[in-house]
């Protein structure tokens, strides 16, 4: 099997890249190790930056998102029982974010790919990327019990942290930067309408809490818990009681409760692999970088990566110049590190470390008060949250 771009992974990054290349007249093949049902139902991020929304619309994948997605023009910060709303459009020249789950993005892109795009092979496990530093890289993979080879002009690894693409870059050429946090997020899905019409980020002496949503009838909520916590060690009523404590306000705001349908614990880490390119192998999304979910950046960073690659390859097809492909890693990493900074700032602003001192507690409150009282500080948060430019 032969193609121009071999894409490993049918998450939102790989699927969107295939769509962007199709629209540019460039052929590709997508290899996904899981089956279609798994890809369309795995729960992941749900906040789309303004730039991501614009890219999906331009790619022809925005119809259902525009119909069912929830546009949010701000977030609320809570601390010391106080409430402060950050107004995104007023601070960013009109930008906003949209609540639309990654699962739904994948469903939309899969439907488009199967209808109009090139081959999308589910249950096709990539085994290795070979010849990345040659003009003819290839992907060895297994599909329907048979081993095969995908010959490519370029390979893009959108196969996540545990995928095979990154391992094809020689260790002596790489640098890794990472941080593991001593806490995680206990996340729940609940069949109850959200108790607020925008996301609520709460800093509390007992730990962070987040009120989010999946739809007008389904709430998504999170609690900061110690690293390694078992989700099942928390009872349903215990979770609701703790959420109530952390979201408490001076004005008597109430949290609505409902049946919990899912519980899980998400570890918190920051990770960057440099470079994001070796020869004709390009890394995108979690294969190259991971951010703690506090800043809602993971999916959006992956979109930025594949937009950068698609633009660079289209530029080469039109001009014969490799300049943008050669700059891929540097271009992406500039945005990645800004997102890492923003996610780190949000995490340290809102989470209480297990060994936090009273001095550090007061610093957190001072930082939040600064955002609430300074348009410049508030604008910095709003610009970071709604997203950094793509390239």
CB 130 within 8 A of CB 280: no
Token pair belonging to 151: 């010959």
Q: Is 100 a catalytic residue?
A: no
Q: Which one from 12, 22, 72, 278 is the annotated catalytic residue?
A: 72
Gap between the Cα atoms of 10 and 217, Å rounded: 28
Gap between the Cα atoms of 119 and 15, Å rounded: 11
Specify the pairing of strand 28-31 against strand 5-8.
parallel
CA dihedral 90, 93, 95, 96 (to 10 degrees): 0
Q: Of 213, 211, 265, give the one whose Cα is nearest residue 234.
A: 265
Q: Is 154 a catalytic residue?
A: no
Q: Which one from 181, 201, 222, 328 is the annotated catalytic residue?
A: 201
Cβ-based burial of 173 (10 A; exposed 0-12, middle 13-18, buried ≥19): exposed
Q: Where do we find the tokens 């709460």?
A: 202
Q: Which one from 278, 289, 297, 351 is the annotated catalytic residue?
A: 297
Q: Which one from 79, 100, 154, 385 is the annotated catalytic residue?
A: 385
Q: Is 82 a catalytic residue?
A: no
Gap between the Cα atoms of 134 and 152, Å rounded: 11
- The alpha carbon of 105 is separated from its chain's Cα centroid by a whole number of angstroms, namely 12
For residue 207, what are the CA distances in angstroms to 150, 261, 270, 363, 384? 48, 23, 19, 15, 23
Sheet-wide strand order for 154-157 = 120-121, 28-31, 5-8, 154-157, 281-283, 277-278
Q: Is 81 a catalytic residue?
A: no
DSSP 69: -
Q: Of 53, 59, 50, 48, give the one whose Cα is nearest residue 20.
A: 59
Angle between helical axes of 298-319 and 328-350 (0-180°, round to 10): 170
Q: Is 222 a catalytic residue?
A: no
Q: Which one from 137, 194, 292, 293 is the annotated catalytic residue?
A: 293
Catalytic residues: 72, 201, 293, 297, 385
């Amino acid at each position: 099997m032969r193609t121009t771009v071999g894409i490993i992974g049918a998450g939102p990054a790989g699927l969107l890249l295939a769509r962007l290349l199709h629209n540019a007249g460039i052929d590709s093949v997508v290899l996904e190790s899981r089956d279609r049902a798994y890809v369309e139902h795995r729960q992941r991020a749900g906040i789309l930056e303004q730039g991501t929304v614009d890219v999906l619309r331009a790619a022809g994948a925005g119809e259902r998102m525009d119909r069912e997605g929830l546009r949010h023009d701000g977030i609320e910060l809570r601390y010391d029982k106080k409430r402060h709303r950050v107004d995104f459009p007023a601070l960013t020249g009109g930008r906003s974010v949209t609540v639309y789950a990654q699962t739904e993005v994948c469903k939309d892109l899969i439907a488009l790919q199967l209808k109009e795009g090139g081959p999308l092979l589910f249950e096709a496990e990539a085994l290795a990327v070979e010849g990345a530093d040659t003009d003819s890289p290839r992907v060895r993979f297994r599909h329907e019990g048979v081993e095969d080879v995908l010959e490519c002009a370029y390979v893009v690894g959108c196969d996540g942290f545990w995928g095979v693409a990154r391992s094809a870059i020689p260790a002596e050429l790489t640098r890794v930067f990472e941080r593991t946090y001593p806490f995680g997020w206990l996340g729940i899905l609940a069949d109850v309408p959200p108790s607020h019409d925008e996301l609520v980020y709460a800093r509390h002496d007992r730990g962070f809490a987040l009120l989010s949503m999946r739809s007008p009838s389904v709430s998504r909520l999170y609690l900061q818990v110690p690293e390694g916590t078992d989700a099942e060690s928390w009872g349903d009523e215990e979770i609701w009681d703790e959420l109530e404590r952390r979201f408490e306000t001076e004005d008597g705001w109430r949290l609505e409760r409902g049946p919990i349908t899912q519980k899980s614990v998400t570890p918190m880490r920051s990770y960057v692999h440099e470079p994001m390119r070796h020869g004709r192998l390009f890394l995108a999304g979690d294969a190259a970088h991971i951010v703690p979910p506090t800043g809602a950046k993971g999916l959006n960073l992956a979109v930025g990566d594949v937009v950068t690659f698609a633009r660079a390859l289209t530029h080469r097809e039109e001009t014969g110049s490799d300049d943008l492909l050669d700059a891929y890693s540097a271009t992406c990493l500039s945005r990645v590190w800004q997102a890492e900074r923003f996610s780190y700032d949000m995490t340290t602003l809102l989470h209480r470390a297990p060994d936090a001192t009273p001095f550090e507690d007061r610093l957190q409150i001072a930082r939040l008060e600064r955002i609430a009282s300074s348009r410049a500080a508030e604008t910095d948060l709003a610009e970071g949250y709604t997203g950094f430019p793509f390239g």
